Structure 1
Amino acid sequence: MIVEDDPAIAEMVADHLTKDGYQVLHAPDGRAGLEKFERERIDLIVLDLMLPELDGTEFLKQVRSASFVPVLIVSAKDGVLDKALGLGFGADDYLTKPFSLIELSARVNASLRRATLYAAEGRPEARSGTTLRIHELTMDTERLAVSKRGEDVKLTGKEYHILKLFMLNPRRAYSKEQIYRAVWHDDYFGDDNAINVHISRLRDKIEDDPSSPRYIITVWGIGYKLGEF
């Protein structure tokens, strides 16, 4: 589904994705987008941020309260704050207008491929039943759940898989490129902001003091690793 108030852009994107073999729905504003989302089976959302009726960030918050459907933001807003805001509310990727239709196709395909891989991980035949622990943090890979001191920690799909990567490899430091390839299952486009935002959001949820993290620490000049307790 494309949620875009500019009919020319919506038509251009819809035509391109239709040629790629996708069935495409269009909503001209956030309110109409929510109505279609509730009625239809949506596999991916291409979302503009500047929308009438209901803006893109509020639309995304409401979608995320009910679903982890992949969301690709396509917007003219290009500041670091805008990207952090979009990704912080649960978007999976971000393209800035004007954009290449070839890159749009690549990111749509990658988002759907990642969603398929994560869904497969949740199937009974893929579950290991393994419980991972580090200090007061526990990950149940059968339930795809994380808790701290016995209290559930609500993570997005990306946050969960970043944390799982570190907990499975507690002594290894990862570069941002390695994290992106391992979690996004895609080529790294060199956008550090996506990694930084997800790491920051994850720290906010699992650290006692996010400004002085103990679980996910920065390795200067390299990237990040799991802290030692």
Structure 2
Amino acid sequence: MSSPRPPEKRAHPSPGAPEASPAASTRVVVVEDEPTIARAIADRLVAEGWAVTVAGDGPSGVEAVRRTEPDLVVLDVMLPGFDGLEVCRRIQSDAPVPVLMLTARDDETDMLVGLGVGADDYMTKPFSMRELVARLKALLRRVQRSPAPAVAETQATGILQIGDLVVDRASRRVTRAGEPAHLTPTEYDLLLCLAQTPGTVLTREQLLADVWDWVDATGTRTVDSHVKALRRKLGPDLVRTVHGVGYALEVPEDEDETEA
């Protein structure tokens, strides 16, 4: 009888790191160098019926993603070899995949850098396994309901234009003043949500529900961080903050929304 495929090499080996049946519908790569945390995450996700591959450093994390082509990646920021930010850059340059980053520091700069290299969400340690699973399921739902460009083109709903901002919903491409903006899938979904009702203030709770599929307000800082990422990529004047309420897409003077 042949032995099962071993888990990824780990910087600090942990015996028995689980890998679920390859028949599971959802594949997840967990890149975490703390064996206790990696095992706890893997056990919980396997209990959800997902196939889990564990890697314990940056290089093996990149190799695991390239080999297994997962549906989701859980990625620690601080890793041996090279850090999670570099892992995220490399895997997103190969093929976009939803990434939830884990960080030991509640530092907004770290969060913004993570979002800037292609992460879709982040959680600060320590975290609840229940919330981790909920966020991963929300990421998965968003990916599943967003058709690939080749499919979307046959169901094109037009081009949304607000001033010099153009959102092509068929190809999920965004330009401002003719310059392309390279947005993560979550940034695009957030921008589209705001752009569909320009000038209308949407609360953080509304945005969490519509973009992230969250039904509580525990992730409002996630909204704030993604808005900052949009401003960095599209200009500080595009999204208006309504203090204590939420955000609105700024409508330029003398410009009307048009549908192509």
The residue matched to 1:111 in structure 2 has which SS? helix
Which residue is equivalent to 1:68?
96
Equivalent residue pairs, number: 224
Decide whether aligned partners of structure 1 residues 94 and 121 sit closer, same or farther in structure 2, where only a CA change above 3 A counts.
Answer: same
The reply to whether residue 134 of structure 1 matches residue 162 of structure 2 is: yes
The residue matched to 1:138 in structure 2 has which SS? strand
Decide whether aligned partners of structure 1 residues 105 and 28 sit closer, same or farther in structure 2, where only a CA change above 3 A counts.
Answer: same
Superposed displacement of residue 90, structure 1: 2.5
Which residue is equivalent to 1:222?
245
Equivalent AA in structure 2 for residue 102 of structure 1: R
The residue matched to 2:175 in structure 1 has which SS? strand
The residue matched to 1:123 in structure 2 has which SS? helix
| 1:4-52: CA deviation from partner (whole Å, max 9, x where unpaired) | 1122221221122111100110111010011111122211111111100
Q: Structure 2: how far apart are the matches of 1:128 and 1:49?
A: 38
Q: Which residue, out of 168, 174, 190, partners 2:218?
A: 190
Q: Which residue, out of 102, 114, 117, partners 1:89?
A: 117
Superposed displacement of residue 56, structure 1: 0.9
Q: Structure 1: how far apart are the matches of 2:101 and 2:216?
A: 17
Q: Structure 2 length normalisation: TM-score?
A: 0.78
Which residue is equivalent to 2:21?
none
The residue matched to 1:102 in structure 2 has which SS? helix
The reply to whether residue 56 of structure 1 matches residue 64 of structure 2 is: no
The residue matched to 1:74 in structure 2 has which SS? strand
Which residue is equivalent to 1:200?
228
The reply to whether residue 174 of structure 1 matches residue 202 of structure 2 is: yes
Superposed displacement of residue 86, structure 1: 2.4
Which residue is equivalent to 1:12?
40
Q: Structure 2: how far apart are the matches of 1:190 and 1:140?
A: 31
State whether residues 84 and 193 of structure 1, in contact with CA within 8 Å, keep that contact through their aligned partners in structure 2: no
Q: Structure 1: how far apart are the matches of 2:168 and 2:44?
A: 41
Larger-gyration structure (1/2): 2
Which residue is equivalent to 2:14?
none
Q: Structure 2: how far apart are the matches of 1:150 and 1:121?
A: 20
Equivalent AA in structure 1 for residue 77 of structure 2: L
* Structure in which a larger fraction of residues adopt helix: 1
Which segments of 5 or more consecutive residues in structure 2 lack a partner in the other structure? Answer: 1-28, 254-260
Decide whether aligned partners of structure 1 residues 166 and 189 sit closer, same or farther in structure 2, where only a CA change above 3 A counts.
Answer: closer
Bigger shift: residues 170-179 or 43-52: 170-179
Decide whether aligned partners of structure 1 residues 113 and 53 sit closer, same or farther in structure 2, where only a CA change above 3 A counts.
Answer: same
Query: Structure 1 stretches (4+) deviating beyond 3 angstroms?
Result: 119-122
State whether residues 208 and 219 of structure 2, in contact with CA within 8 Å, keep that contact through their aligned partners in structure 1: no
Equivalent AA in structure 2 for residue 86 of structure 1: G
Q: Structure 2: how far apart are the matches of 1:24 and 1:154?
A: 30
Q: Structure 1 length normalisation: TM-score?
A: 0.88
Q: Which residue, out of 138, 143, 162, partners 2:171?
A: 143
Q: Over aligned residues, Cα RMSD in angstroms?
A: 2.1
